[in-house]
Amino acid sequence: MHHRIRLFLIHFISTATVIVMGVAVFGCAPSLQKRQDAAANALDALKESRFDYASESARSVLADDGENPFAAVIAAITLYKTTMHNLFLDGQTVVVGAAATNRFNDRYFRSIVEEADRHLAEVARLLDVAAQEEAFAMEFCLACLEVDWNQNGEVDDRDRVLLEVELDEAEQQIPKGDPRRRPTFRFDHGDVVWAQTFISFQRAFLNLVSAWDLSPIAELLRSGDDRTYRFRLVYPDRVALARSLILRGLSLSEQTRQALLAETDDEREWLPNPRQKDHPMPLPVDDALYETWGLVLSDMEKLVRSEEGLSVSRIFHLIDEETGAAQVRGYLDIGRMLTHADDIVIRPELLEDDIEALEDGEPDEAEAALENIFGECYVKEMKPSGLPDRLHRMRDEVVTGKESFERKLRYLLWVN
């Protein structure tokens, strides 16, 4: 009996050992270095602007290891490049066709936008894979890519300078041929989340523009008479999707902000935090910028959720304090524009009168114009958003010469 028990225990321990070793060998994820090595060929191809091979190589790596962050980022970059290339060419076709026939091919336009959005959704999925690895870092020179950006059939000087860094921190021109114009960035986790943010906002825009039937646009631009032009809301679900993508983008932007603030390294940063000084882009930042970034994100989310509204008076004060609209007390409910979207109806002559009333009319005339233009999205009472006051502060700092408004806007657009 004891002999059988010993044999059983020996057999059990041996089997368990084999299982554990098997899990260790086959079940554990490869190390980050091994994953980087596996994607090395794809990265080399990308650096050499061999986009098709880079894509194929990256996809091959992902077929064996679907969680490889390097292959996922390379696949995302190549797919994004192809998507934007096709969207640009197809968009040109729509514009040229509209100019030649005086008709806007809405069905074709919507099909190319839908295709672009499907591909961007795949780009987002690939970036989601890469974002899971917080230790991710990849060196890459964007300006070194050989791409026919202007679509004239060859890679010319205009293409080569498109992604170069042209100004230094003092906003002085960097001489042509200076190595500083073509830096190699070290992209890391925070930059991946930044890319997720960018794609989310871009998808939101594509879904919004494809939600309405835009076929009347050619006739509107051609005639501009006092006829009524109705842009029908064909796909309200796309407006709902756009709203969710905007909210996701705002959340991702906050995640980007937090990830960048948590960084302790300082090496060729794409987006620096206030403590990082090694950044090839002329983007000196401080704690105040990061604080403003967070506050603006909070403002935007509350606007999208209809928790706050834009004060018409405060917005028009930024333009001209003497306009009729600057005296109006109402608010624009931005969130309602997304949750209660409807057909867009335009009568050019009436719209022109409304704009004139906003600029030069009395407050009651300006208020009537706002009701005509925005309908139920213009409300008399709402919790005011803090966003206009932040824009006022930025403007005042420009007036006092502390910093150019152009640089401020560039910062906010860059981080978002």
Per DSSP, the residues of 369-399 read: HHHHHHGGGEES--PBPSHHHHHHHHHHHHH
Looking at the domain assignment, is residue 257 inside a domain? no
Q: How far, in Å, CA of 26 to CA of 170, rounded?
A: 54
What integer best gives the mean pLDDT of the chain?
86
Tracing tokens 């050619």 back to the chain, one arrives at 218
Q: How far, in Å, CA of 169 to CA of 183, rounded?
A: 14
User: If pLDDT is split at 50, 70 and 90, which confidence band does 54 have?
Assistant: very high
Looking at the domain assignment, is residue 78 inside a domain? no
Percent of the chain at pLDDT > 90 equals 54
Q: How far, in Å, CA of 200 to CA of 241, rounded?
A: 11
User: If pLDDT is split at 50, 70 and 90, which confidence band does 164 have?
Assistant: confident
For the cut 50, the answer to whether the pLDDT of residue 10 exceeds it is no
| DSSP string for 139-163 | EE-GGG----TT-SSS--HHHHHTT
pLDDT single digits (tens) 272-322: 999 999 988 877 788 888 998 999 999 999 999 999 999 988 888 777 666
User: If pLDDT is split at 50, 70 and 90, which confidence band does 258 have?
Assistant: very high
For the cut 50, the answer to whether the pLDDT of residue 115 exceeds it is yes
Report CA 192 to chain centroid distance, whole Å. Answer: 12
Burial profile 23-62: b = 16 or more Cβ within 10 angstroms, e = fewer: eeeeeeeeeeeebbebbebbbebbeeebbeebbbbbeebb
Phi, psi of 188 (to 5 degrees): -130, -165
How far lies 366's CA from each of 308, 323, 370, 384, in Å? 22, 9, 6, 19
Write down the pLDDT at residue 415.
60
Give the contacts of 31 (CB within 8 A, at least 6 positions apart): none
Structurally, the chain folds into a number of domains equal to 1
Residue 365 domain boundaries = 295-404
- Three-state DSSP class for residue 306: coil
Tracing tokens 């991710």 back to the chain, one arrives at 136
Looking at the domain assignment, is residue 193 inside a domain? no
User: If pLDDT is split at 50, 70 and 90, which confidence band does 191 have?
Assistant: very high
Looking at the domain assignment, is residue 200 inside a domain? no
Q: How far, in Å, CA of 32 to CA of 189, rounded?
A: 13
For the cut 50, the answer to whether the pLDDT of residue 5 exceeds it is no
pTM for the model stands at 0.87
Name the E strands within 52-183.
Answer: 137-140
Write down the pLDDT at residue 21.
41
Q: Are strands 137-140 and 185-188 parallel, antiparallel or unpaired?
A: antiparallel
Q: How far, in Å, CA of 259 to CA of 254, rounded?
A: 9
- As given in the structure block, the two tokens for residue 361 are 């009319």
Looking at the domain assignment, is residue 359 inside a domain? yes
Looking at the domain assignment, is residue 332 inside a domain? yes
Looking at the domain assignment, is residue 28 inside a domain? no
| Alpha-helix runs per DSSP H in 132-234 | 157-161, 189-209, 217-223
User: If pLDDT is split at 50, 70 and 90, which confidence band does 169 have?
Assistant: confident
Query: Any bridge partners for residue 311, and if so which?
Result: 331
Q: How far, in Å, CA of 214 to CA of 105, rounded?
A: 8
Q: How far, in Å, CA of 407 to CA of 387, rounded?
A: 18
Looking at the domain assignment, is residue 327 inside a domain? yes
